[in-house]
């Protein structure tokens, strides 16, 4: 059993991932900003904790995650202003990574997006630019830490039911993936620490069993 803390616990992916992790016997805490979201989180079987990570210091987040084995970042500004996008998706995310390091958390799972990185190619006049820049900075910072990190890069998210199968590999282009499948990937990553440490996994819906993909150590 692992002690898993999900930051962004009221997000659609997080609400799908939490009950899977609980069912596997993990001790799951989901962090929300709004106290009104506590009941939704508790309905998943997870413990709810209220903290506004956007406006919290590294030390406050360290106090929050201390004692956990794994931090899962599934938070986001949700398409707000560029300023808030940078504040949440870059700055708060980076503080959470530093907090995980300070508090002795070994593993960190980042939910990013397909195509993230310094060469994301999103033009400055595109409304997605701030998000692309913020995620690129956060992912880069995470890769420079000593954490056993995993970066998940799902394609465009859909509301379809989980199939338990994804597609990944060299030469793959962005497509679509259900949020439910993303939740199952998170579940599998938690279960496979050896094969997922310091690994970036970009994926679409597909025909490869999730556990098979996640458990396989990249060449």
DSSP reduced 3-state for 219: coil
Q: Transcribe 171-200 into DSSP letters.
A: T----EEEHHHHHHHHHHHHH-HHHHTTEE
Positions of the chain with pLDDT lower than 50, given as ranges: none
Residue 1: the pLDDT is: 87
Number of residues written out for the chain = 219
Question: What is the model's pTM?
Answer: 0.95
What is the H or E stretch that residue 143 is in?
helix 129-143
Residue 172: the pLDDT is: 86
**Interatomic CA distance for residues 202 and 166, integer angstroms:** 10
**Interatomic CA distance for residues 109 and 94, integer angstroms:** 13
Locus of tokens 């993990």: 26
Residue 219: the pLDDT is: 64
Find the Cα–Cα–Cα–Cα dihedral 72, 97, 40, 19, rounded to 10°. Answer: 20
Residues 188/211, Cβ–Cβ less than 8 Å: yes
What is the H or E stretch that residue 211 is in?
helix 210-215
Could you give all domains of the chain from N- to C-terminal order, each with its CATH number? 3-215 (3.40.50.720)
Burial 102-130 (b: 16+ CB within 10 A, else e): ebebbbbbbbbbbbbeeeeeeeeeeeeeb
Which of 109, 104, 33, 117 is closest to 73 using CA atoms? 109
Residue 51: the pLDDT is: 97
């Amino acid at each position: 059993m692992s002690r898993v803390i999900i930051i962004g616990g009221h997000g659609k992916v997080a609400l799908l991932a939490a009950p899977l992790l609980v069912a596997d016997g993990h001790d799951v805490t989901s962090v929300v900003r709004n106290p009104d979201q506590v009941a939704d989180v508790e309905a998943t079987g997870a413990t709810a904790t209220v903290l506004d990570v956007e406006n919290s210091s590294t030390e406050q987040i360290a106090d929050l995650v201390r004692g956990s084995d794994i931090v899962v970042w599934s938070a986001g500004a949700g398409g707000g202003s560029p300023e808030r996008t940078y504040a949440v998706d870059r700055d708060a995310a980076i503080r959470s990574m530093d907090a995980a390091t300070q508090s002795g958390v070994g593993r960190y799972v980042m939910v990013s997006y397909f195509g993230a990185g310094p060469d994301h190619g999103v033009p400055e006049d595109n409304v997605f630019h701030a998000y692309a820049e913020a995620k690129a900075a956060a992912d880069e910072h995470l890769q420079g830490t000593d954490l056993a990190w995993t970066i998940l890069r799902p394609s465009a998210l859909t509301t379809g039911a989980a199939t338990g199968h994804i597609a990944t590999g060299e030469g793959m282009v962005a497509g679509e993936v259900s949020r439910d499948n993303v939740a199952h990937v998170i579940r599998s990553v938690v279960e496979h620490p050896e094969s997922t440490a310091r690994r970036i996994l970009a994926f679409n819906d597909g025909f490869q069993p999730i556990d098979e993909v996640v458990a396989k150590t990249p060449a």
